[in-house]
Structure 1
Amino acid sequence: MMIPGSKNGSSKCAKLLMTLKMFSMNLYFAFAGYRHHGFCGSLQRILKAIKSLRACHQVASEIQSIKSRIKNISEGRQRYQVEFGIDDRVTGSSTMNDSWRYSRDDALLVEEAKLVGIDQPKQHLISKLLEGHDHQLKVVSVVGMGGLGKTTLVKKVHEDPDVRKNFPVRAWVTVSQTCDFPKLLRDLIWQLHKELNKSVPQFIESISTIELKKFVKNFLQQAGRYAIVFDDVWDVEFWNEIKFALPEGNYSNRVMLTTRKADVASASCTESQDYVYKMEPLSIEDSWTLFSNKIFKGNRCPAHLMDVAKAVLDKCEGLPLAILAIGGLLASKDVSRMDEWEMIQQSLGGELEGAGKLERVKRILFLSYNDLPSHLKPCLLYLSIYPEDYLIDCSVLILLWTAERFVEWREGMSIEDVAWGYLGELISRSLIQVTRVFYEGSPYTCRIHDLMREVILIKSRKQNMVTVTTGQPMTWPSEKVRRLVVHSSSNSSNIRYHQQRQFYSFEHLRSFITISSTNPLPSKTFLCEVLRSSKLLKVLDLEGEEIEETPNEIFNLLHLTYLSLCGTKVERVPRAIGKLQHLEYLNLGNYPWKS
């Protein structure tokens, strides 16, 4: 946030906010710890927090100084530029009433908007897949920079009825930059068996990578004509590994890749029948259609905004992700307030000057984040708990937001309905992408684009919002963390507990979550230590972990509000769970149950 008339405003305010944040956190932990350590144990912490009072007196003086400066801003500039993150919604104006209301039409409009300019390339790629009967494996690679819509295009091709008819055996594998190759092969095996209504053999969890590749190859040789998509491939090495698991057979099989890397596309398409499709930005006409659909919902752009709108759109250079993000930002503004639009235009002018296309998209996404109302920012940053390209269960996300106390109470509404409204607002701003919907149209699963995730990770690390580790010793952070998330890797189970202990303190831990765990946590001893020493834990999600009994340490977590044992081998919960008097959400199966 930049204070007018001060070159150092941004750093001063950042320091100010961090000081206040640390002071409040110290007080929280001091008083919350009283229940476990008694008065004497907590007195030391309280005294430590009180030492900060002198600094906070200085903070209060600075706040008064800032307030007096803000009063001098002209009434026509009621909000700072987008990067200041201060607007009417934050200060409680009436526009805030609409910010949490979920709009199913808005969510579906995002999906429709993504289809602008897609028909011609879609039909072109379908023809490339279907042409030729040479009984050879054919590879089609779609290459282009991030934000062009490669995944959206290939998904529409993959789901086309003609493609489904010609290739009855189909799979979609998301590779990503941090690829766990054995896990990827197991995911492919699972999808292929599901396609053919076959049960997955249990032994695939214990066999080597070489054996997994042999298994995939043998399965595909007997399965029939297949079409497999490898989405978001980052390096040639991946293709050199996976190609040995793909038999050519006698069925004219097809493989599609999406990648940002030209060398990956060329390395995968070395035969005469292979094809590389270079994805291009949207035309001026398609860009305007996407832009106006997002902001004006199919209506005409008001004449007084036309010049500003075209100037803003020109900065996006035909990149769909940038157009949707800036469109989502502008859609939240009052069309009668031209000064608001001009502020966005001016911000873009300074932010994007001299930046390359990819950097332009990232900066637009930063602006979109900064423009969010204060109650939506932690909800978006919380998505940093999920791995790259992870399909997020919206219902579980809503419960986690609620358990983390991110959701504000609204008169006449349940807290869950308000949380769904938050999700709808983030979707309508194109910061979250819907991947599946329920039959009535509400979001079922969602994801975040890789570039948006980069923005979220930067912001999350800066605010110490979430700490993510893969379980490897080198990735364990030494600083105090509030939320710890473990993304298990294929070899994380080989880590010994004593390797981590010297690195870590759990005293301030409020949330512990395991995600995408094809393997157990690095150590059950480690899990017990986390639970034993995290007395202030409020959120515990052990979904998918290989535990057979509820750890006894859980029943001493008196602040716990959310507990998920879904996907574990736990078959019953002891009566001791009654000790958890603050527990609000208990997830024991496919559906979260509220206690």
Structure 2
Amino acid sequence: MLEDESSLAKHRKVLSIVGFGGLGKTTLAREVYRKIQGHFHCQAFVSVSQKPNVKKIMKDLISQLPCKEDFAKGIDTWDEAKCIVKIKELLQDKRYLIVIDDIWSISAWNAIKYAFPENDFSSRIVATTRIVDVARSCCLDGNGRMYEIEALSDLHSKILFFKRIFGLEDRCPDVLKQISNKILKKCGGLPLAIITISSLLATKPVVKDEWERVRRSICSALDKGRSLDGMNSILSLSYNDLSPNLKSCLLYLSIYPEDYVIVRDILVRRWIAEAFISEERGQSKQEVAENHFYELINKSMVQPVEIGYDGKACACQVHDMMLELIISKSVEDNFISLAGHSQTDLVNHHGLIRRLSVQHIDQELASILANEDLSHVRSLTVTASTCIKHLPMLVRFEALRVLEFQNCESLNKYDMNGIDKLFQLNYLSFRATDMSKLPSGIVKLYGLETLDIRDT
């Protein structure tokens, strides 16, 4: 990435990392980013996902790049084209490092690539994708290189597996070595599969019968090569091993978009507001909820990010393969109803709507919601929606305990009348919206415990 003796050394270069889901593309990109970022004037790491919001991606980039205080003035009114022009202007005279994670289509790459100028400062772009054609497209300018990430070897699979369970790679009892080989064969060299299963086994008695039971529970699909069915089998096994409380806490994460950074303190407060958490063994609800958060990390159900000085994660992310699983479980159990998400649609739901997550609302979706019974909705989460005015009136959500608007543009155009009738509301967030004045009805929300108005 840094050393190049050719005459093209100063040209901008693209490295595209391609491979099956769960192979560690994002982990590799993050490690490269961490190791070399000090050689560049500026750097940023952004995720694209299956349903890219180009404007949001551009705003995320700008938020990570050094710029003058008034550079981003009026950014909420910029369209995609202006965002791209402004980023190009910002990067034109700098050596930059940009990681673009999880690109799903050539069109998504084409929509954002013009923001990154060819400026002969030896700038670097790292892109990750599951799709070979997308990886090739990222490298088409002649200064690119495609790296196809491979599955772990048998040796490295064992090292990862045993270190997660025993702390050291050579501490596996002889009686478990044969069954370990059979389990690892099913994992197919996929780091995500190995970490998930080893995290599960780390909580089990170190006895052959227990490990044999886990081996039998894993679908044999991975024996014949990497497959989504096989990976889902392994993730499902770990999910099914969770306690009921932890299952609810994990399923709740399906309200968030793909690649979303979920802040611990916000999530903990939401779990408490949803009544998922009870005091136990002399611990407060806050302490129990935080323990649940770290337990999900320790079981490798979510991935830690933003590690603090104390070594604890301040936030987490859900791997896209795990997200697909918990969305499927949430919809199947009618735990959460999704609207405007790429994976599913509100029209597929059954039963009462109890928790509603909206990522994009337009006139069509508004018409569907208009015909739904919303009186049983306990939580409403609206994320990064631009047409918020189409959302039904708040008076229709009379049972709300949790109400969150986040990164919603033009929220000040939404009619907040009726918010004073939400007598059960415990948690209210206008974080990162354009709200300039709080609704007067908030003073009548006597049960409100959390009001988040950061970055408004």
TM-score, normalization by structure 2: 0.90
Note the 1:345-424 alignment, pairs <5 A. 345-348=215-218, 350=220, 352=222, 356-424=226-294
Q: 1:240 to 1:191 in 2, by over 3 A?
A: same
1:505-536: CA deviation from partner (whole Å, max 9, x where unpaired): 2122111112234x35143xx35x2x212222
1:201 is matched with 72
2:422 is matched with 557
Secondary structure of 1:390 counterpart? coil
1:330 is matched with 201
Instruction: Kindly indicate whether the alpha-carbon contact (under 8 Å) linking 1:190 and 1:200 is maintained by their aligned counterparts in 2.
Output: no
TM-score, normalization by structure 1: 0.70
Q: How much has 1:280 moved relative to structure 2?
A: 0.8
Q: How much has 1:456 moved relative to structure 2?
A: 0.6
- Match status 1:503 vs 2:375: no
Instruction: Kindly indicate whether the alpha-carbon contact (under 8 Å) linking 1:470 and 1:486 is maintained by their aligned counterparts in 2.
Output: yes
2:10 is matched with 135
Q: d(CA) in 2 for partners of 1:131 and 1:184?
A: 33
2:214 to 298, 322, 344: 344
Q: How much has 1:571 moved relative to structure 2?
A: 4.6
Instruction: Kindly indicate whether the alpha-carbon contact (under 8 Å) linking 2:388 and 2:414 is maintained by their aligned counterparts in 1.
Output: no
Instruction: Kindly indicate whether the alpha-carbon contact (under 8 Å) linking 2:339 and 2:365 is maintained by their aligned counterparts in 1.
Output: no
1:382-422: CA deviation from partner (whole Å, max 9, x where unpaired): 00000000011011111111111112321211111111111
Note the 1:559-574 alignment, pairs <5 A. 559-568=424-433, 569-571=435-437, 574=440
- Match status 1:521 vs 2:385: no
Q: How much has 1:228 moved relative to structure 2?
A: 1.2
Instruction: Kindly indicate whether the alpha-carbon contact (under 8 Å) linking 2:268 and 2:290 is maintained by their aligned counterparts in 1.
Output: yes
1:53 is matched with none
Secondary structure of 2:259 counterpart? coil
2:39 is matched with 166
What's the C-alpha RMSD, in Å, of the aligned pairs?
A: 2.8
1:453-479: CA deviation from partner (whole Å, max 9, x where unpaired): 11111101101111122399x955375
1:201-244: CA deviation from partner (whole Å, max 9, x where unpaired): 3344334333333333233223x111211111111122223233
Instruction: Kindly indicate whether the alpha-carbon contact (under 8 Å) linking 1:476 and 1:503 is maintained by their aligned counterparts in 2.
Output: no
- Match status 1:184 vs 2:57: yes
Q: 1:315 to 1:497 in 2, by over 3 A?
A: closer
Q: 1:132 to 1:302 in 2, by over 3 A?
A: farther
Q: d(CA) in 1 for partners of 2:311 and 2:38?
A: 27
Q: How much has 1:481 moved relative to structure 2?
A: 0.9
1:234 to 104, 119, 123: 104
Q: d(CA) in 2 for partners of 1:499 and 1:152?
A: 41
Q: d(CA) in 1 for partners of 2:143 and 2:254?
A: 41
Q: d(CA) in 2 for partners of 1:362 and 1:501?
A: 32
Task: Give the length in aligned residue pairs.
Answer: 449
1:535 is matched with 398
Q: How much has 1:353 moved relative to structure 2?
A: 5.8
Q: d(CA) in 2 for partners of 1:167 and 1:344?
A: 47
What letter is aligned with 2:49?
S
1:149 is matched with 24
Deviates most, 197-206 or 141-150 = 197-206
Q: How much has 1:577 moved relative to structure 2?
A: 4.4
Q: d(CA) in 2 for partners of 1:438 and 1:582?
A: 32
What letter is aligned with 2:56?
K
Secondary structure of 1:232 counterpart? strand
Q: Detail structure 1 runs of 4+ shifted over 6 Å in the superposition.
A: none
Q: d(CA) in 2 for partners of 1:416 and 1:325?
A: 27
Q: d(CA) in 2 for partners of 1:261 and 1:252?
A: 26
Secondary structure of 2:399 counterpart? coil
Q: 1:134 to 1:312 in 2, by over 3 A?
A: closer
Secondary structure of 1:440 counterpart? coil
Secondary structure of 1:484 counterpart? strand
Q: How much has 1:319 moved relative to structure 2?
A: 0.7
Q: 1:206 to 1:564 in 2, by over 3 A?
A: closer
Secondary structure of 1:300 counterpart? coil
Percentage identity across paired residues of the two chains: 36
Q: d(CA) in 1 for partners of 2:365 and 2:134?
A: 39
Instruction: Kindly indicate whether the alpha-carbon contact (under 8 Å) linking 2:296 and 2:302 is maintained by their aligned counterparts in 1.
Output: yes
1:485 to 357, 361, 365: 357
What letter is aligned with 1:330?
L
1:94 is matched with none
Q: How much has 1:132 moved relative to structure 2?
A: 6.0
Q: d(CA) in 2 for partners of 1:264 and 1:456?
A: 27
Q: How much has 1:302 moved relative to structure 2?
A: 2.1
Deviates most, 443-452 or 232-241 = 232-241
2:153 is matched with 283
Q: 1:204 to 1:558 in 2, by over 3 A?
A: closer
What letter is aligned with 1:170?
Q
Q: 1:448 to 1:498 in 2, by over 3 A?
A: closer
Q: How much has 1:357 moved relative to structure 2?
A: 3.2
Q: d(CA) in 1 for partners of 2:254 and 2:242?
A: 17
Q: d(CA) in 1 for partners of 2:250 and 2:274?
A: 13
Q: d(CA) in 2 for partners of 1:547 and 1:428?
A: 41
Q: d(CA) in 1 for partners of 2:446 and 2:404?
A: 18
- Match status 1:580 vs 2:445: yes
Q: d(CA) in 2 for partners of 1:497 and 1:284?
A: 49
Secondary structure of 1:282 counterpart? coil
Q: 1:200 to 1:467 in 2, by over 3 A?
A: farther
Q: 1:382 to 1:169 in 2, by over 3 A?
A: same
1:313 is matched with 184
**Bigger Rg, which one:** 1
List gaps (5 residues or longer) in structure 1.
Answer: 1-124
What letter is aligned with 1:239?
W
